[in-house]
Amino acid sequence: MTIQFNEETFRDDYSFYNSDWAIKRFPFPFHEDSYMYSVNMEQHRGGPKGSVYEMRFDVDEHYVSEMRDRAMVLADDPLRCQSLPHMTLAGWDLLELIMVSKSEDYPDLFELHRDGNQWRWINKPLGIDDTFTFMDETTLPYGPMEYITRQAQGDFCVLDQRDEMLWMDAGMVTTQADWSLDFDIGMNFFEWHAPVPLAHEMGIFKRALKFLLNIQQGAPARRLNWTMTVNPLLDTSPENYHKWGIQKTTLTPENIGSKQHLRVELQSFFRLPRSNALVFPIRCYLCSFQDLMTVPKWGRRLHRVVRDLPVELATYKGFIDNRPMMLDYLEQFDDGLPTSRGVFPDLETEPPLTKA
């Protein structure tokens, strides 16, 4: 399949949009009509054809525009990409993982030709054709992690594993849900999760850490996380909160359908072979409420989830003030009918909205 890449922006005029194809494959995160934390991990070994779960690193219609947005963020703030000195080997591991995966999964878009340590990488969507020496940083325009993550959608945290603990020792973070790599760099797993409410008391992080420490080569895992974002902003960072935080006050009953977006992170976890580090790609997908409402099952379910979410979570996710307006909007799309299990749209089997 050849992807038509959108010409769009994630800032200023917000021309971002999802095609019908992108809406139907949106990773809707709620498998039932309510939501509570769980470690909710599963193996990352493909998924239904055409879904965002199918490939190791999903490439979609937003690829070229997202990479352009990343370059702009980095130009303004180079500290969004950092790698402590001992993480260079992990950077090469990541470069290899992404190049091999993309060239195998999308041979029409990416090519990798290897002759010993002489590698040629062709990225057709971005117009890149580079030859370099694997493991020789001087032959690339950036360090290996920065080089490849300027060409891969989603944020990347590269975690060192030492003393039965994970450490945030490298990353490329420009599309984050209000956290800062520059603040978290060098922190351990419990330190960087300290701001999350309820989950510590529930023992979630202890269990999650144990799971992650045991992720092995050849057996990657994945999970979903979600939040809410007003306007299709990729860069909702603390560094730029003064720019985007205020936009949460611009919601009105008239514009909420197009301005309010559900933001979903497809998080995956791969053990890196040479460094024994763990890479944690966090891929952000955005979908406006009005686009989500074209899927009757999602309309019914989103209303119920947002309505019943504990106050702590709605506060932490930053939409407690807008929740009443969201519910007024979403309520129109919930006719009280039951919903099918699982996250997929089930357009053929789920009844259309029966409410005027």
Partner 1 sequence: MSAAPQKAKPGAEQLAVRVSAVVPLNDLVTRFEFQRTDGQPFPTFSGGAHTVVTMQDDGRTRLNPYSLMSDPADTSTYAISVRRDDQGRGGSLFMHTRVKQGDEMTITYPVNLFSLDLRARKHLFFAGGIGITPFMSMIHQLEQSNGNWELHYSVRTEALGTYVDELKYKFPTKVHVYYDDQSQSIPLETLLDGQPLGTNAYVCGPKGMIDWVHATASAAGWPDAQVHSEEFLAPAPGKPFEVRLCKSDKTIQVGENESLLEAIERAGVEAPFLCRGGACGQCETDVVSYDGEFIHRDHWLEPEQQAGEKIMPCVSRFVGKSLELDR
- Using CB atoms within 10 A of its CB, is residue 265 exposed (0-12), middle (13-18) or buried (19+)? buried
Q: Which of residues 261-280 bind partner 1 (CB under 8 A)?
A: 273-276
The residue within the footprint of partner 1, chosen from 223, 259, 283, 323 (CB under 8 A), is 223
Q: Is 43 an interacting residue with respect to partner 1 (CB under 8 A)?
A: yes
DSSP string for residues in 57-110 = S---TTHHHHHHHHHHHHHH-GGGEEE-GGGHHHHHHHHHHHHHHHHHH-TTTE
The residue within the footprint of partner 1, chosen from 79, 219, 246, 327 (CB under 8 A), is 219
With b meaning 16 or more CB within 10 Å and e meaning fewer, what string describes 180-216? bbbebbeebbeebbeeeeebeeeebbeebbeebeebe
In the bound complex, what is the minimum distance in angstroms from residue 205's beta carbon to partner 1?
16
| Torsion over CA: 69, 73, 76, 82 (sign) | negative
- d(CA 148, CA 142) in angstroms, rounded, equals 9
Provide the token pair at 17.
């949009």
DSSP 8-state class, residue 244: H
Q: Which of residues 136-175 bind partner 1 (CB under 8 A)?
A: 160-163
Q: Which of residues 46-85 bind partner 1 (CB under 8 A)?
A: 47-48, 51, 53, 84-85
Provide the token pair at 47.
């998924």
In the bound complex, what is the minimum distance in angstroms from residue 163's beta carbon to partner 1?
5
Q: Is 217 an interacting residue with respect to partner 1 (CB under 8 A)?
A: yes
Stretch that binds partner 1, among 15-23, 44-52, 242-250, 281-289 (CB under 8 A): 44-52
Q: Are 174 and 150 in contact (CB under 8 A)?
A: no
Which position among 11, 70, 150, 223 bears the catalytic label? 223
Q: What type of residue sits at position 178?
A: D
In the bound complex, what is the minimum distance in angstroms from residue 43's beta carbon to partner 1?
5
Q: Are 224 and 267 in contact (CB under 8 A)?
A: yes
Nearest CB to partner 1, comparing residues 57 and 344: 344
Stretch that binds partner 1, among 148-156, 195-203, 219-227, 325-333 (CB under 8 A): 219-227
* 45 counts as catalytic: no
The residue within the footprint of partner 1, chosen from 24, 31, 248, 307 (CB under 8 A), is 31
Residues designated as active site: 223
Residue numbers at the binding site for partner 1 (CB under 8 A)? 29, 31, 40, 42-43, 45, 47-48, 51, 53, 84-87, 89, 135, 160-163, 210, 214, 216-219, 222-224, 273-276, 342-344
